Amino acid sequence: MRLLVIGAGMMGPAAAYDMAKAADVESVTLADVDVRRAKEAAARVNRLTRSKKVRPARLDAGSRTAVVKLMRGHAAALSAIPYIYNLRLAKAAVAAGCHFTDLGGNNTIVRQELALGRQAAKRGVAIAPDCGVSPGMATILAGDLLRRMGGTADALKIYVGGLLQKPKPPFDYQLLFSVEGLINEYCEPVRILRNGKLAVIEPLTEVEEFRIEGLPPLEAFHTSGGVSTMPETFAGKVGECFEKTLRYPGHLALIRGLYDLGLFSSEEIAAGKTKIAPRAVTARLFERSFTGHEPDVTVLRVEAHSRGKVAAYSLVDRYDPATKFTSMMRTTAWPAAIITEMLARGDIAKRGGVRQETDVPADLFAREITARGVPLKFELS
């Protein structure tokens, strides 16, 4: 089978690497608007996999004609570019007859993609947004835990964070994925379940201490997008459902200050004779201040609470010096690649809109991710 990855930035090459290692993948097209970046990334992945499966291509994701043309002839395509492109890419995939996955990043766009479900199903196409670490791996595992609990639970709780192994003040943070996705998490409304009903709350709230073996105490707080469609899917079946982001203590207070000042706002303000959106400036400052190449660690904890019992999945994954893939790449790009491969193989039978928590075979997914060395563990207490 032939697969397509759109975007040769942080996540795309890691996804292409995973795909190229699969015996039944004939080729992987790694496309980017910057063809030089695509060529360099493809060459690196081919060296790591000792193959010639990955082929670079130039693609302007804003050109529907070019996207449809490139998608044709591929069994499935993964978007590893900012979420603002994902709806138009999903529409192009339906037109091209190509399964489509992405890393998500925005609740509104994800729902617009899933609204294409009937049209996609008629074409035999699956549209599967939100395939990263959370949503993605976390929501797949949450759905599995709920099924283990008999279909109902008092609470589904997700805690996830990408952290520096050695934090550096004052923010103790390094940019591990798209800056636009990060800011979106920090500023968009948060959808949760409370008392079994959908509620929308403010981000950067309800901080609590989080502990996991091997790391110092962390702080956990609400951010946007992590539970994706779970509140709608599990309304009336789950009392409480949320995802909280993990950071080193003190990070939240600094980010909350920026939020309260309006520095995440997309509404333009006058600065002399110029108008500019504060968010645009903040994004550039984050890129300047948070970009780095220090070893990272990803923490994920998914819990289902029911009648005094707790079933949970957890992992603490670290940077791989052999491949130089960050842990966030391993835990974000690889789940997305696995789901893309599962769609292409037919392991995911659903066509139309695919929801991670109900439509992805969790047992197969768990076997695949652990086979790649990601230390996922299950426990019941």
How much is the pLDDT for 380?
93
pLDDT(273) > 90:
no
Closest CA to 141 of 368, 370, 362: 362
How much is the pLDDT for 105?
78
pLDDT(12) > 90:
yes
User: In order of start, what are the domains of the chain with their CATH numbers?
Assistant: 2-133+331-371 (3.40.50.720), 137-325 (3.30.360.10)
Q: How confident is the model at residue 178 (pLDDT cuts 50, 70, 90)?
A: confident
pLDDT(102) > 90:
yes
Q: How confident is the model at residue 271 (pLDDT cuts 50, 70, 90)?
A: confident
CA dihedral 266, 271, 274, 275 (to 10 degrees): 20
Over residues 259-288, the mean pLDDT reads: 93
Q: pTM value?
A: 0.94
Return the half-sphere exposure (C-beta side, CA atoms, 13 A cut-off) of residue 380.
Answer: 7
Three-state secondary structure call for residue 223 = coil
Strands 238-247 and 218-222: antiparallel
How much is the pLDDT for 184?
87
How much is the pLDDT for 292?
84
pLDDT in tens, 39-53: 999 999 999 999 999
Closest CA to 296 of 231, 215, 235: 215
How much is the pLDDT for 79?
98
Q: What is the mean pLDDT of the chain?
A: 95
> Which positions ≥6 away from 203 have C-beta within 8 Å?
185, 186, 187, 188, 189, 190, 222, 223, 224, 259
The CA distance from 223 to 333, in Å, is 21
Closest CA to 71 of 85, 59, 81: 59
Cβ atoms within 10 Å of 166's Cβ, excluding its own:
10
pLDDT(176) > 90:
no
CA dihedral 74, 77, 80, 84 (to 10 degrees): 120
H helical segments located in the chain: 12-21, 35-49, 64-71, 86-96, 107-114, 117-122, 137-148, 179-187, 230-234, 251-261, 278-290, 327-345, 356-359, 362-371
Amino acid at 34: D
Structure-block tokens of residue 154: 């008092």
